[in-house]
Structure 1
Amino acid sequence: MHFYSLRSSLILFVLLLCISDSESLKTLKNLAVKRGGSLSIPCFYDEKYKSNRKYWCKGYYWSTCTIVASTNTSGRTSVTDHPTQNMFTVELNSLQDSDSGYYWCAVEIGGLGTPDDKDYMYLTVSAGPAVSVINSRVSGQEGGSVSVQCLYSAEYQNKQKQWCRFKDWSCYTVGRTNTSQNSAVLVIDYGNGSFSVEMRGLQKSDAGWYWFSAGDVGVTVYLTLTRQPSDSTTVSGNTETELNGNTMVIWILLAVGLGLLLILATIITCMLRKKCNGNQIETRKRTLTTESPVTYSAVISKNKKASSVLDHENDVIYSSVTTTTKKKTVSVKYSHHHRQQLSQAVGDDAVIYSSVVSEYKV
């Protein structure tokens, strides 16, 4: 009786080790990668495992697998936990043929008789993998579109091709499919080893992990989305442009204003100089008038005969007198001799004084 009880316990233990709870932890079952390349493998877990340690284990049997890397370790193989997304990723770098084999995504549970949760997958590393992608990480913009180019080998030409999303494990086959997020997925198989996927009208919810598969072999792709520029950013850009334009106009107006002020100052300066010169000329005229109101002229009489009284006809003696200054020549048209009698003439060349009124010509 004791033997049968022990045998039943052993069988139950083996079953617990071999059974994978696909609802609590799951990943892809068959992946391929090119020799020397890199690969990212997502492992999704239940909400209850957020705080548990995650690790990556290699081996055909779970009971004998070897832990290659665990959470927060670095090296050629690393494990990174993303609690907000209920997943952890395994990064494999510089892969070689010897890296091919069975692996396990695992979550440490702890406690006696409580095995860790896990899910297995098989990895193939070769020079010419069955499936591959041009870029394993692509990016797009919300509302825009993104294209993914996939390749497959000739032996998989007649196999079913699919583009699948990890978030809800939904898959799209050849043709056009409108998703619930209003984005459209267009899948085209060119039949010559080339396969393309185009996603249009991208929404925020479209970001995340995808995989392309031909038959039962797949390869992972990660899609990153960026937000469209907001209206505030556009308005800010327009405002900045407008401010720059206004600044330029202000500088132009200032330059024109300064030019006009300079011209005005020049005109005023010239006018002041002319006025000053005019005042100097007027001052000189006044000086001449004041200093030389009377010019005396000597008139020589040609009448050699002495006479006590001048004849009435000779009351006025005309003479021409020219007064020369440094800058002016004063011409006198005539002189006037007042009627008077002279008692005596001096010699033959009598001198008669007269009052001369000057008329200036500048």
Structure 2
Amino acid sequence: MDSLVFLLLFFSSFPGAAAVKTLAWLNAQRGGSVTIPCFYHQEYRGSVKYWCKGSKQTPMVRTDSSQRNDQVSISDDPAHLVFYVTMRNLEQEDTDIYWCAIKTNKEKDVFAVLDLKVLAGGQRVWTESWMSAEGGGSVTVPCYYDQRYKHHVKYWCKGFIWELCSILVRTDSAPNKGDMSITDDPDRLVFTVTMRNLQEKDTDWYWCAVEIGDTADYGAFLPVIVREEIDFTSVVQHSEDGPSRSNHPPTEAMNTTDGSSKPADLPKGRTLDVLRHSVLALVYLICTIIAMIKTWIYCRKHPVVTNNTVKPSAF
């Protein structure tokens, strides 16, 4: 899947999404924690940020409040145009939609929505919620599995649709394939995939997978984002560019079942916005063509009667 098309699926696209962006959805493990990045336009650098839950958008935590919350915390990093929300000790009832929100002087605040699903545990295969790296950098992904699959073949698959993903590397073949490698550690019930020299085109959905044999294989997905290096001085007022390049290490795990680390920046938004409009135009064109075809088929099946003479309908 093209990396930018993937990002269209990845970003939330509600009103205000041009001003604030986050991931469209995430999975997290019960009892674990997750850190969500909320990227914003620089005009909101000094604004109050907050985090809401549910369709009623109930505020949970705000950057202008000193009230302590052991389960949810928020921190703003105006230097990199991002604020972070960390949720801890997750339970299944935490499964819901959440909102990155920013107070404005306008009639409505700006926001972006995220769909969070807390997994109950007992998964056959599981991994991080998401990971990120800078262009030219590398990322190492741990893929955990149930002990019953100690001696099964493991593989790394790329693509949004599980049934159609492309297998990139397997444990029963050469462990190194170009800039990619896979190693299995049955004693620790984990196999590890390393991707090096990452480019923007590598941004996509990936799957940690275990080969079962006669039945369907098991897999766990995660998005891997390769962000561009952005010169902060080039980000000007009213631009649609995303956040500047972070000073974090090149490879960062976005969250784990036993802790979390700060996420890194997403790619620039200008190209994404252009592509978004292009994709919408393409979808509109396709829908129009489909409607025309259906109309033509309907007219062929239901001829028009004119002067007692049956004539096919003209399209």
Identify the TM-score tier after normalising by the shorter chain: 0.3 to 0.5
> Greater RCO between the two (CA within 8 Å, min separation 6)?
2
The two structures have a TM-score, normalised by structure 2, of 0.43
The two structures have a TM-score, normalised by structure 1, of 0.38
